[in-house]
Amino acid sequence: MTPMGPEREELLQSGPRSVTSAQLLIEEYRHLAESLLRNEERGERRAEWFLIYSAALVVVLVAVRPDLRVAAFAVGTILLLGLITRSRLIHRNLTADEYEAKIRGIEQFFVNQDEGLAAHLPFSAQPRPGRWTTAHKSFVTGGALQTVEFVNALAAGVLISLLPAVITDSNSISLVAVVLGALAFFAAEFGERKFRSHRDS
């Protein structure tokens, strides 16, 4: 049996109150860890359903080739759902950051009792930037939020290119308008997150 360190012995010998406090923190730690996991899973499911819906709708549009007005409405629903999903994912990430900060605080309490625990903890004792405030990643290397933002940008670019065609009853859209619209919308999403992160930091 591995002998307890002096800090751990001091915690146990300091009376029932300290032991009860430690037990309370352990239960809170378990609750926070489970909440963090559920929060992550809900966010991933939202992103997955949005991507499935978007892909299915694109397949239908390509197969049916409807009127441009119908196509514009369909792409608009993708963009609207994407913006809602993006907002939910940002809230998910902020909530996850709060959970991780509380978990880190409980871990620090026990590290103060036994410094040897630090090497076995999932989170660093030093605070790190929140996931939604870190440098923007590409849709390939990024997480669910970056992927949803990329799809939103594509939908916005297509919608922007469709609107003139719908207004003028034209049967063609400009690929340049799609690309420029997508880039502009992607930059707007990125800038909005950067502005919010600076405002809240």
pLDDT of residue 49: 94
**Does residue 129 belong to any structural domain of this protein?**
yes
**Does residue 41 belong to any structural domain of this protein?**
yes
Mean pLDDT of 97-117: 80
The better pLDDT of the pair 152, 67 is held by 152
User: What mean pLDDT, rounded, does the chain reach?
Assistant: 77
pLDDT digits (tens, 9 = 90+) for 54-71: 999 999 988 988 888 888
Task: Check pLDDT > 60 for residue 76.
Answer: yes
**Does residue 109 belong to any structural domain of this protein?**
yes
Give the whole-angstrom CA distance, residue 83 versus residue 50: 10
Mean pLDDT of 93-101: 86
**Does residue 1 belong to any structural domain of this protein?**
no
Q: What does the DSSP 8-state code read for residue 117?
A: G
**Does residue 141 belong to any structural domain of this protein?**
yes
Task: Check pLDDT > 60 for residue 128.
Answer: no
Task: Check pLDDT > 80 for residue 148.
Answer: yes
Taking the CB of residue 1, how many other CB atoms lie within 10 A of it?
3
Task: Check pLDDT > 50 for residue 19.
Answer: yes
Query: Confidence band (pLDDT; 50, 70, 90) for 1?
Result: very low
Total domains, the chain: 1
Tokens read off for 82: 């994407």
Alpha helices, DSSP H only, in the chain?
6-13, 16-64, 68-113, 144-168, 175-200
Range of the domain at 27: 6-200
pLDDT of residue 79: 93
Mean pLDDT of 3-14: 48
